[in-house]
Amino acid sequence: MDFSKFEETAGVEFKDKALLKQAFIHRSYINENRASGLEHNERLEFLGDAVLELAITNYLYKKFPEMNEGELTSLRSALVNADTCAEVAQKLGANDFLLLSKGESKDNGRARQYILANTLEAFIGAIYMDQGFDSAEKFILAHITPLTEGIIEKGTWIDAKSLFQEKAQEHENTTPSYKTLYESGPDHDKKFTIGVYIGNELVGQGDGKSKQDAEQEAARNALKNKGWD
């Protein structure tokens, strides 16, 4: 597969093309092609996740000197979560370059969004390995931080759990509770579906790579469902 088009769109030209390719290899592809000698992208994803968080933290710290630690943390979470990463990956056309098993290639639902998000993190990890932090940060500043303004305008960075708790206490005189509805994936790549309840009523649910992210999405959906947003 020729990745030159993706390099052009992303604005990054790799020295090590094998490293670039590895960023797009999902574990399922290796399971079906064990004799290929290739490696999946999970180690690069692990690295890219850390690089992304550091670059975003540095950007927000300098960009918003008036924000406190809690606000910066919430905004950072919105910029590095699976939804944002998947959105950026789709804009770059990453979907056309994924190396997946036959089964995974047919699934275009929520699971594909997670794969795209993980691939973007792996790509960032690959940039770091190929060219260092400055190049990875340059990519992040070009393609991810420009979403900051829109996220602030939509209010998706606000701590939805805290807001929903306030509204539930105000309108229902009760504190909401959260329960794990589904949990899947290996330990290094868990996916969670969390439900938020008022009493015994399920009022919203959300997905995430961590329980915290899933709870935030569940709270956002609950706010919409109750008309409290």
13 catalytic residue (yes or no): no
For CA atoms 97, 98, 101, 103, the dihedral sign is negative
Cα distances (angstroms) measured from residue 19 to each of 2, 16, 39, 116, 189: 13, 5, 10, 17, 21
Q: Which two tokens stand for residue 115?
A: 């794969």
CA–CA separation, 8 vs 13, rounded Å? 7
* Options 104, 121, 137, 217, the catalytic residue: 121
121 catalytic residue (yes or no): yes
Cβ 5 vs Cβ 119: under 8 Å: no
- Least Cα distance to 89 among 116, 65, 129, 62 occurs for 116
**H or E element that contains 229:** none
* Options 42, 45, 49, 104, the catalytic residue: 49
Q: Which two tokens stand for residue 134?
A: 């400055």
User: 3-state DSSP call for residue 87?
Assistant: helix
- Least Cα distance to 163 among 218, 122, 97, 90 occurs for 218
Distance of CA 85 to the CA centre of its chain: 4
Which residues are catalytically annotated?
49, 121
